Structure formats: structure tokens, C-alpha cells
Amino acid sequence: HLVEQGHAYLGDGGDGRLWGEPGAGTAAPAPDDWKSHLNQAVGIEVIGVRMLGNRLWLHVRLQTETCEGAIPGVKPIAGWLPAYRPSGATAAWFYARGC
């Protein structure tokens, strides 16, 4: 998966919800200090990938450093998210040529 190779980021339209385990229970919303930053490209580190049934899940860590600069006042957080949104759009993208 290309997003595992670095310079990955969350695409537009994400709600910031992360699961503790793929498909288990209800997703937790992003902490309040992250919410105002989720309308921009938030850098992620892809920690792992798992198939659950026919659904691909990404284990990600939201990064405080992005290609656009630092995100002040937040700490990295980790969790799982579906690789594809209900609309079919990809949840994560990558900078093909780096930052």
C-alpha cells in the first residue's frame, strides 16, 4: 500500500473518528484540540493495515508535523479507520513526490 510508505495524510471530508480496533464497537471522536485541524491535510503515519471481511482498515497515528508545517497545541493520537468512506472515497492519500 502506497500510504504505508510515508508522506500520507487524511483526505478532505473526514470526521476525525478513530476506532480502538477495526470494526469493533463505536468510533471515538477526535479530541477537541484536534477538531479544528481536521479540515486540512493532517499528516498520518500508517502503523498497520488489516482486512476485516471485505473492508480494509488502516491503523494510523495523526501527526503534529505535516508537509504544510507544524500543528500547534496537539499531541499525536492513534487509532483505526476504514480505508474507504461510506461514499467510496479514499480516507487517506499520499504525497507522491514527497513534501
pLDDT tens digit string along 40-86?
778 888 889 999 999 999 999 988 877 677 888 888 889 999 988 88
Cα–Cα dist 52/73, whole Å: 34
Secondary structure class of 31 (helix, strand, coil): coil
C-beta separation of 5 from 22 below 8 A: no
CB 64 within 8 A of CB 75: yes
- 60 with 81: CB under 8 angstroms? yes
What is this structure's pTM?
Answer: 0.81
DSSP state at residue 3? G
